Structure 1
Amino acid sequence: MSRTARAQAHPNIALIKYWGKRDIPLNLPAVSSLSVTLDSFMTDTTVTTEHADEHDLIVINGSPLTDRPAARVSRFLDLVASPDRPRCRVESHNNFPTAAGLASSASAFGALALATCAAFDQDLDPTRLSLLARQGSGSACRSLWGGWVRWDRGSAADGRDSHGIPVAPRDHWDLSVVVAMVGSGPKPIGSTAGMVRTQETCPLYPGWVSSAEADVAEGQAALLARDLDRLGAAMERSTYKMHATMIATWPPIRYWRPNTVAVLEAIEALRAGGLSAWSTMDAGPNVKVLCRTADVPRVVEAIERTGVAARPLGVGGDARLV
């Protein structure tokens, strides 16, 4: 009998970054990370079992997936159910740009994990769901929870201790994230391929790994103490160190665009004038600015003066079935 389940999940952005894997098939990170879940941006995914075809049908934003992207989703469905499961129809929609450094894969596999488990009548606790989502996309393990989440590197070879851990709830602190939408197109090199190139060729990479756990500890302590200057400084240090490893990779990986630098400089100017606003970037050209919610209008104005559109977001909630 056919079953249908629908789930929604928000993306998250890492304040203290993860870049590089200790195990690629299991999506085990080389370092721990700390993130905030974003509201408004969302992936909405419906999974229906007993699809009347020999292959899964996967539709993203109205377009069927084919080849490797489709195979990636099908492998994840096999992981949740079993390889001999009935074929499925998966329909997913993002209300924000896909593959542009805005963590669309995090919300995508967070929603897919939750909907697939429900469609196959599997009742998993949040930690087991996080372990499962991580195998679809590493950062998806953080998108099962709202608020502020840590992803531990772990040490077990099978990854059983590498999953999301809630650190603080959504209402812990009245902060916002303003996204500077420098570019919405797909990035020139995917995150996994970029991580592999960095690990294989960057002479700075060992230093990145050796300093990352201290950065996570500092970021978490600042978060719990509600110390924005301390958290922002830890976040920017982590961001610049990560991008330094990318630039020192061969061939170099440069996600930045001229307007990326313009936004970074605009936020630095705000801070020099006494406003606590701090920038971070992932594998893409877009800049995310962490600030107090009361300061959002000034941050938006500063970004838009560079010619870049700004989108304010609050702290998001848990992934959920709908």
Structure 2
Amino acid sequence: MKSRGRARAYANIALIKYWGKRDEKLVLPMNSSLSLTIDCFYTETEVIFRKDVDRDYFYLNDKLQGKDTTEKVSKFLDLFRKAAGLNLSAVVKSRNYVPTAAGLASSASGFAALAAAANVASGLNLDNRQLSIYARQGSGSAARSIYGGFVEWKKGSSHQDSYAVPIDDAQWDIGIVIVMVNSMEKLISSREGMKRTVDTSPFYKVWVESAEEDLKHIKIAIRNRDFKKTGLIAERNGLKMHAIMLGANPPFCYWEPDSLKVMQIVRQLRREGIYCYFTLDAGPNVKILCRLSESHKIKDRLIQFFDPDQVIIAKPGPGITIL
């Protein structure tokens, strides 16, 4: 058995959102979702199972993490230890090339990289579908970061059939421009925000039905390589997700004034014939779906209002890489 594994996984941007769980423990979603894996944000993680340590140690960006964060990692590693019949503690070293907890899918790349590294270190040799099921239990959106390009996470009916599948490699002039409005950790975590919305928003039930419809239509648009339709569906789906948060009790919103400024710029660009579409996850940062060939024009417009370091061009990214 190889007791050491190292892997890289990339963040993904949800175009049809996942927002809400029907099973908190197994992380089973209320609705299926769809994302685009991107190349600029990623996590590299090494897992070493060792006989000479008495507990798990977790280092993030070279800093030893405290009890609560380490406990999450330990619980996740227990899935692999149990399946492999392994009774060893681990040293985990992770480096995040994504701002943590800022609505930029750091938990997706984080748990996908951890799953892939633990898979190698434990000797389980799970295939990508099984790995997606494992990654999902760390962070729902991590199920999608197992693959590159456009990826669908099927909600499934049980633990075993809720996993992600690749649907298109996105190699048809697709890009994302990310505007880092604020890279600080958000005040309301995705977990807390989801639960509050599911429990209290009167609009939630309609959102779930509507998201499933959006998914059906965006998959047809992607299959037809219909960029405008893909973008319009993604933009509307994202706005609907944020609308249901405004209906929660108490209501909450992740947007900041600069988030709205970016949305206005995107709408102006469309009026000028540069077709691009915005989406936001649980955070203020805006992702703009565009044609990769027009991404520099979009960045040029944005840096009239934002610092150039705040505007990042991303290409479609690959699936997990074993290092």
Alpha-carbon distance, 1:2 to partner: 7.7
Mapping for residues 4-83 of structure 1, pairs under 5 Å: 4-50=4-50, 52-82=52-82
Give SS of 2:252's match. coil
CA distance in 2, matches of 1:111, 1:223: 27
Return the letter of the residue paired with 2:89.
R
Contact residue 119 and residue 125 of structure 2 kept, 8 A: yes
CA distance in 2, matches of 1:72, 1:182: 28
Mapping for residues 277-296 of structure 1, pairs under 5 Å: 277-296=276-295
Partner of 2:275: 276
Return the letter of the residue paired with 1:316.
G
Deviations 1:291-318 (A, max 9, x none): 1111111211222222252100100011
Partner of 1:85: 87
Partner of 2:148: 146
Partner of 2:254: 255
Contact residue 2 and residue 50 of structure 1 kept, 8 A: no
Give SS of 1:208's match. helix
Deviations 1:9-60 (A, max 9, x none): 0010110111000101001000110100000211000011116332200011
Partner of 1:318: 319
CA distance in 1, matches of 2:301, 2:16: 24
Partner of 2:183: 184
Deviations 1:96-126 (A, max 9, x none): 2111100000011101001001001111111
Segments of structure 2 that go 5 or more residues without pairing to the other structure are none
Contact residue 133 and residue 141 of structure 1 kept, 8 A: yes
CA distance in 1, matches of 2:51, 2:267: 53
Alpha-carbon distance, 1:160 to partner: 1.1
Give SS of 1:8's match. strand
Contact residue 12 and residue 36 of structure 1 kept, 8 A: yes
Give SS of 2:40's match. coil
Segments of structure 1 that go 5 or more residues without pairing to the other structure are none
Contact residue 207 and residue 241 of structure 2 kept, 8 A: yes
Deviations 1:122-173 (A, max 9, x none): 11111000001000110000001111100011122xx2111001101242x2
Partner of 2:203: 204
Partner of 2:306: 307
RMSD: 1.4
Contact residue 34 and residue 152 of structure 2 kept, 8 A: yes
Contact residue 263 and residue 306 of structure 1 kept, 8 A: no
Partner of 2:218: 219
Return the letter of the residue paired with 1:131.
I
Return the letter of the residue paired with 1:33.
S
1:167–1:2 Cα change, 3 Å: closer
Deviations 1:257-293 (A, max 9, x none): 1100000100010011111100001001100001111
Mapping for residues 130-145 of structure 1, pairs under 5 Å: 130-145=132-147
CA distance in 2, matches of 1:43, 1:222: 30
Alpha-carbon distance, 1:84 to partner: 6.0
CA distance in 2, matches of 1:71, 1:245: 32
Return the letter of the residue paired with 1:164.
A
Aligned length: 319
Give SS of 1:150's match. strand
CA distance in 1, matches of 2:69, 2:170: 32
Partner of 1:121: 123
1:215–1:2 Cα change, 3 Å: closer
Partner of 2:244: 245
Give SS of 1:71's match. helix
Give SS of 2:278's match. strand
Give SS of 1:188's match. coil
CA distance in 2, matches of 1:278, 1:40: 19
Contact residue 8 and residue 44 of structure 1 kept, 8 A: yes
Return the letter of the residue paired with 1:23.
D
Contact residue 170 and residue 317 of structure 1 kept, 8 A: no
Partner of 1:111: 113
CA distance in 2, matches of 1:254, 1:269: 24
1:2–1:274 Cα change, 3 Å: closer
